[in-house]
Structure formats: C-alpha cells, structure tokens
Amino acid sequence: MTTYNRNWISVTLALMALFNTPPARPEGQQELLFFLSAGPTYHEVAPDEGPEDYEFVLDADVLYSYLNGRFRLLGEYILSTEEIELERFKLGWQAGEETIGWIGRFHSPSRYWNAIYHHGQFLQTSISRPFLEQFEDDGGVLPTHSTGLMFETAHKLDHTADFRLAFSFGAAPVIDRTELKPFDLLDPGSSNRAVADLRLAYLPDQLEENQLGLALSWSDLEVDGSHTAQQQGLRRVEQVSIGAYLDWRWQEWRFLSSLAPVINQMKRQAGNQTDSFLTGYFQAEYELKHDWTVFGRLEQTNNTSSSDYLDLFPHSVTDRQMLGLRFELAMQHALSFEVSRAETPADGDFEQYLLQWSTVFP
Amino acid sequence: MSPSRALLICCMGIMLCTQAVVAERQVVLVASATSPLHDLDSLELRKIYLGFPVRHEGHTVSGLRNTGDEDLNRIFLQSVVAMSEKSYLRRLLSLPLRKGIPRPSEYARPRRLLDALLSNPYSVTYMWKDTAALSPDVKTLRVLWQEN
C-alpha cells in the first residue's frame, strides 16, 4: 500500500511538471520547483574497515506551493538514489500580517540550517551538512521532522529590526534499527511519541537575512527495533537540546554557526541514566570574483566515546574539518567540490571527497 | 550656407533632441486605472517584491515583474530591491522553499503584463513612463527612477 502511494505521488508530480504553467489567476497562485543535484562521493573508511567506499548520488526535490488569500499549501517530495519520501506536506493559514499557523509534516524549526535550506541543495553552499543539522536518514541523531502543528510570528522592534518566533508540537521520530525514523504520513506508525521545538531569532533588519537566535528542542523518542538499544535495556529516550546559532553576512563573507548541548534521559528497564554531549559547527564562506565561492567548516562533538545515546548511531559523522569550492554558472547551476577529514564513533577518522552539480528549474 | 555647415547644424539638432528624449526617461510604478491603490512607499514596495505580505483594505498587494526589457530589469534590481540579480534570484527561490509562497509572476510580453495587471486591482508593476502614458487602462502611482 505504501509503495503504491509513493508511486501514485511520483506519477502525479510528473504529470504536474508536464502541465506546469505560470501562475496568472489573481485569486490563487501556484508554483512547482525542481531542485536537482548529482555527483560522486568517495570516502576511505578506516583501513581496518576494508576497501574504499564509492557511490553516486542523484537527488530530485520536487516542491509545490499554493497561495490563495490567507491559505497556503506546501508539499515537498524527494526522489533519490537513496530514498523516496514525502518530506513536507503542510497547510497554512495566515492569521495576521506576521502570523501564520501550519498543520502537517514539516522540518523542525529548532534546526536553523534545515529551516533555510530544506532540500534545496542548489541554495546551500556546501555539499555536506553539519552533524547537528543532519536529516534522520543521513545519520542525524536529533529529530529534524515533526508532524503536527506549527506557529510562526514576528514582532517588530523598531523601523527595521524584528524578533521572530517559530514553535511546533507534534509526533516525534522513533529509534529504528539503525537510525531515527520520523512519522511518515504515507505509512503512519503507532509508537511515535511527542516532540516540541522552538526557535527565537533576532534580525537587525527584517528585510535582510542576518540573524542570531536560540533554538530549543524537547523530544520523547520510543525505541522501535534498535538492536543496540534492546541490548542496553533501553525503552525510550527523553532528549533536550538548547542551542544558539548565528547566520551573518559581512561584505563578501558569510558565517554560519551553531552550538548545542544535548541531554538524554535514557529510560531503561533497570532505571534511568543521564547522558549528554556538546556539538557545534562553524562554517565560513567567502565569495571570490567571477562566481567562485571558497568555504570551510569545522565541526566538533565531545563525549562521543562515553555517550550511550551516540552508541545507537555508530556510523554518524560527529567531527569534520572541511574545505570546499563552488562555481556558479548560468545563474541557476553550480558545481561544488569538498574535501573533508571526517570522524565517526565506529570508524575513526577518514578522508571524504565529494563532487556535485546542482541546479533548480524553472 | 555650405553643405558641411548645414550637416553640422543637423547633427547638433539631432544630438540635442536625443538628449531631451533621454532626459525624460523615467520608470514609474503603475496599477490598473480602477485600482484603489494610491501610493506605496519604498519600504512597502521592497517588501512586496521580496515576498513579505503588504495588505491594503484587507487585500494582499502583489507585485508583477516586467522582465521584457533588460534596462528596465536592471533599474528594478537597483532601485526597488537593491540587490544583484544573483542575490535576488536566491531570495525569490527561498520564498516557495521556506514560506510556501510562489515567486512574483514574471511577464516578458507587455500585453500579458497588462492583462495580469488589469485582472487584479491589488497588483502593481513598473514600466517606462512613455509606455504607461500610452495605456489609458493604467495609472501612475509614483516615479521609481529618473535618468539624470
């Protein structure tokens, strides 16, 4: 049934793409966008883990938006060599000039990187994402998807500055065999518990994108199939993260950074235990002339060897030193290259090389 | 009068006329003649074209992009949104991605632009003053740019 649903959506999207026309009616506007990316990844895992690992990744992110008066609809569906998933599907109602309520499946507002890039790879300068912002099915250990209600509002401080608040409450992911598994609208499970997210941002100029803010997340994660968790006698994890982030542009520079302590209450059959780690990243980007951008990122996570929670995700990249180069051509195409020294709790450190072409159309 | 002198006077006359025409080049903000909109300040206009909601009498004001003329597009980017084309493209792409709002509609053909403008009294666009003067169905709200 689930495969049938996914195929049905794929066919519908293909038909919509064929008959996509520019919005013209004043009573309703719609738009269909395609973010495409493709490229090879090469990483040499620690020598005792065996041969080099090579893969070719192709992603198509289909985004549909519809606006009619105060009503909004947003759907995002991803088809790739690694997954097929309805990423976001939400209905919104604009209650005031600066206030909107949403219902559906969305990206958790406490993860700033995801809130600005989602799956729009062309808009993202780097190819890889930081550990803190990684999606669940790519080794993320914090919930990045939620299904429920979301509320966004803004409060003007003076003529230019404003505070923005995003709050959500919904169904949390479960701890699956090897990863967190978020609530799937097309295949709803019954063991999902609750997650709440909040992001508070200060923007010195409401029309620009420079901002700094606080991000809070609370989630109750049920164990549902993880063999390692069962060996630990783990039933569920209550997780809290309280972080700060910064996104700042200054002349040709852009700085993106976030830092978050993560506290896990490990609910075991034999009793409870508290487990914590601190993770953060700092990314700098510099726009050279002629559409070239050079960028780099430092990521670090402490307590990786002593955290029982991180033991559940032994192949997640927790530390990274990365350098990259991006070239933009013909306005809507980009070619990026990244080289990293990455580290996972199970594999130790290794080098990783990524090459990617990304685009958006129309 | 010698032929060369007559030619020189002719050339000077043409140059003066051209300058006079060029000096009157203006880009204006327009709405349909029946629109209840009267004026929009620079901040409101920038917000409209960056996808922020601007409401008038309970209706959202929408901005239509006039992309048929390269000079006009360049002036729009400089005078209205104050961004490079690349930065503006990225900001527009983030509208559907982050907010679920379609990008402002683009029109390369004047007839289609005019039809879209006339079909929604709460929409605005920009055009050369000379073009606006030729159409009785549109009214000028303000001058956005004037060549010095």
User: Could you report the per-residue pLDDT of A321-330, keeping only the tens digit for each?
Assistant: 999 999 998 8
Chain-wide mean pLDDT for chain A? 89
Contacts of B46 in chain A (CB under 8 A): 207
Alpha-carbon distance B138 to A154, whole Å? 35
> Which of A16, A30, A70, A74 to mutate: most B Cβ within 10 Å?
A74
* Residue B9 within any structural domain of the chain: no
CB atoms within 10 A of CB A166: 24
Mean pLDDT of all residues in A109-128 = 95
Helices (H) and strands (E) in chain B, counts: 6, 8
* Residue B13 within any structural domain of the chain: no
> How many structural domains does chain B have?
1
User: Is A66 in CB contact (< 8 Å) with chain B?
Assistant: yes
Alpha-carbon distance A361 to B3, whole Å? 60
pLDDT at residue B147, as a whole number? 83
Distance from CA of B44 to the nearest CA of A (A): 11
Mean pLDDT of all residues in B106-128 = 94
Q: Specify the 3-state DSSP secondary structure of A118.
A: coil
E-only strand ranges, chain A: 29-43, 53-68, 71-80, 84-96, 99-107, 145-156, 162-171, 174-175, 180-181, 194-203, 211-223, 234-250, 253-268, 271-287, 292-301, 319-329, 333-344, 348-361
User: Between A and B, how many CB-CB pairs are < 8 A?
Assistant: 75
pLDDT at residue A266, as a whole number? 94
| CA distances, B112 to each of A29, A86, B35, B64, B115 (Å) | 16, 36, 18, 11, 5
Structural domain that includes position B39: 25-146
Task: Kindly determine whether residue B97 and residue A118, on different chains, have CB atoms separated by under 8 Å.
Answer: yes
Contacts of A97 in chain B (CB under 8 A): 53, 55
Distance from CA of A255 to the nearest CA of B (A): 17
For position B135, which CATH number holds? 3.40.190.10
Alpha-carbon distance A56 to A80, whole Å? 11
Q: What value does the CA radius of gyration of chain B take, rounded to a whole number of Å?
A: 19
Mean pLDDT of all residues in A53-71 = 91
pLDDT at residue A24, as a whole number? 42
Mean pLDDT of all residues in A11-30 = 55
- To which H or E segment does residue B107 belong? strand B106-107
pLDDT at residue B81, as a whole number? 94
For position A201, which CATH number holds? 2.40.160.10
Of B50, B55, B99, the CB nearest to A97: B55
Structural domain that includes position A232: 52-361
* Residue B108 within any structural domain of the chain: yes
Task: Kindly determine whether residue B100 and residue A207, on different chains, have CB atoms separated by under 8 Å.
Answer: no
* Residue B135 within any structural domain of the chain: yes
Contacts of B93 in chain A (CB under 8 A): 33, 120, 122-123, 360
DSSP state of A138: G
Task: Kindly determine whether residue B120 and residue A26, on different chains, have CB atoms separated by under 8 Å.
Answer: yes
> Which of A25, A27, A29 to mutate: most B Cβ within 10 Å?
A29
| Span of A102-106, A107-111, A237-241, B102-106 with lowest mean pLDDT | B102-106
Task: Kindly determine whether residue B52 and residue A26, on different chains, have CB atoms separated by under 8 Å.
Answer: no
* Residue A23 within any structural domain of the chain: no
* Residue B64 within any structural domain of the chain: yes
> How many structural domains does chain A have?
1
pLDDT tens profile B45-64: 999 999 988 888 888 899 99
pTM listed for this prediction? 0.85
Distance from CA of B146 to the nearest CA of A (A): 25
Distance from CA of A356 to the nearest CA of B (A): 19
Residue A7, pLDDT above cutoff 50? yes
Residue B16, pLDDT above cutoff 50? no
Interface predicted TM-score (ipTM): 0.85
